[in-house]
Amino acid sequence: MTKTELKEAKERYFMLSKMIQEATSKSLENETTDQQQDRIKRLLKPENYIEFFDYYFGVNSGLPLADAPSAKFHHDSYQKVFKDNKIRQFREWYRGAAKSIHTNVGNILHLKENNELFFALLIGANEGLSKILLSDLQMHFESNERIIKDFGQQLSYGNWADGEFQTKDGRFFKALGLNQPFRGLRFGQYRPDFASVDDCEDRDRAKRPEMVRKYGEKITGDLKKAFHKERGRLIIPNNYIVKDGLLDFLKEKFKDSKHLDISRVNLATKNITAEDCRKRTDWEPSWKERYTREEVIDIIEDDDHYTSQREDFNNPIEEGKLFKAETLIHTKVAENEVFDGLLDHWDLSYTGTGDYKAGVLLGIKGIKLFVLEVFCQRCEINSAMEVRAQWFKKYLKKGLNMMGFFDATAAQQAVYTPIILQSAEDNKCPNIPMPMHQEGDKHNRIAAGITNALFRKILFWDESLKIRSKEHYDLFMKQVLAFEKGTTSNDDAPDTLERGITLSQTFFGFSEEQGNEGKKPIIGKRKARRV
């Protein structure tokens, strides 16, 4: 922290402290000593944590830290923290879920006044940020008249600007940057018994495994070993914004610990996107005391897809991480183009509000594959099959027939097949897709199948899709470009694309046999590996 930044932080601290003192003094309750003691006793019960937080820091406290009543997930996560004094809790809460104020202020005060905390560490990404975390805590200890009335004057010596302070009841609070040493931490007879590692994930650092390991081992080694032998609560408030970063390293290290707890909260109860948030009815805000459905929708629609998935849904996807837009070849396909065959594949789901229905129609010409049609939408199966019937009729007029498939387990076939048959009858479509289920690791299959086609430059996209089928094309492409191994995002489009590619190569693959030069492809059997 530079001198200018420190000066500005001190000015902010002074101003806010004065405001907190004035506002909270006006909000003090008129009560007898017995009433006050009964209230304090009630608020300090762990099951009443939300009432505790809202009284000292909530919307009616004078100058609130939060602009809405606390949510159930604030309560549930803290119950685990209070009950397990050696917990390792990951608070993977979306951006704006009040991770820091509950962890670094509300939880600390409640633990302290229950004699569950004596030496707390607030760890930030660097020393300057850790001091800012500490300043918020000291500010309320020093200026919040509700706290002072119930628990007495707090500050004994020290200052957040110096990185540490002590309260009159002998509790010690220290700020540390992630890059500072964690060894030798002691205050009198006390070792640290609480640590918050706040917003320390870094997307750039995740690209450097040696740095991830360095800081991860400081936490799992130096910090963990510095804890008090009887208590050592570790809370990591940080939404999940990057894979293979610090959070993944720590979770792997703690995976066998009986004290591990992962509290994951997204902006909404379902993973919704700008494309479907207004259409779906199967979700609600996770913090409904703060957000309405419309406010959630506004947040999602105001961000690009990848930012929203990272920050709001703990789904760290990157555009083009595996499949890059510049490797996708678009071309003009003539209306009278002749193909060796057509093949369509569909990835279906049980309900209209679950995964997307995705379909692709490929035209095969030699070893080249042309994406002629795409479908990507949340809908009922019969709606998807109606579109398939339209594809069939469109290309039949050109003298081309389709070979069709859909992915389904035996159990799914029992559900899908009657719907598909009924839809074929309703749409007068004699062409019926066949079930074919692929076992094995889906993500490995998708990665290998599509990568191979892109690397060999045999996959082409009809450029007219961008206009004539814009909504489906955009969603289809978004899923393909966002795909990476281990993703929790919708992968219906890349899944059906890979199946279409592989099945096209299986049923229409060919090689030139000796003596057969110039003949048409042999349908249904690949004779040898193409080079």
Supply the DSSP string of 126-141, one letter for each residue: SHHHHHHHHHHHHHHH
Kindly report the backbone phi and psi dihedral angles of residue 453, in degrees, each rounded to the nearest multiple of 5, phi listed first: -65, -40
- 3-class secondary structure, 62: coil
What pLDDT was estimated at residue 152?
93
For the chain, list residues with pLDDT below 50: 511-531
Residue with tokens 């905390």: 117
List, in order of start, the domains of the chain with CATH numbers: 3-265 (3.40.50.300), 267-316 (no CATH), 325-508 (3.30.420.240)
Residue with tokens 């299986």: 506
352, 354, 356, 358: CA torsion to nearest 10: -70
CA gyration radius, the chain? 30
Q: Using one digit for the tens of pLDDT, what is the confidence trace for 261-292?
A: 999 999 999 999 888 899 889 999 999 999 99
Residue in 234, 154, 159, 225 with CA at minimum distance from that of residue 191: 225
Alpha-carbon gap, residue 93 to 104, rounded angstroms: 15
What pLDDT was estimated at residue 518?
43
Helix (H) or strand (E) holding 311: helix 305-313
Model confidence pTM above 0.85: no
Q: Using one digit for the tens of pLDDT, what is the confidence trace for 456-499?
A: 899 999 999 999 999 999 999 989 988 886 666 788 999 999 99
Structure tokens at 182: 């964690």
Which class for 412: exposed (0-12), middle (13-18), buried (19 or more C-beta within 10 A)?
A: middle
- 3-class secondary structure, 35: helix
Could you tell me which residues are beta bridge partners of residue 175? 122
Residue in 102, 113, 119, 114 with CA at minimum distance from that of residue 151: 113
Alpha-carbon gap, residue 501 to 371, rounded angstroms: 10
Helix (H) or strand (E) holding 495: helix 492-508
Residue with tokens 């309900």: 351
Alpha-carbon gap, residue 76 to 22, rounded angstroms: 32
- Count of C-beta atoms within a 10 Å radius of residue 122: 30
Q: Decide the pairing of beta strands 233-237 and 88-93.
A: parallel
Alpha-carbon gap, residue 206 to 11, rounded angstroms: 35
22, 26, 27, 30: CA torsion to nearest 10: 140
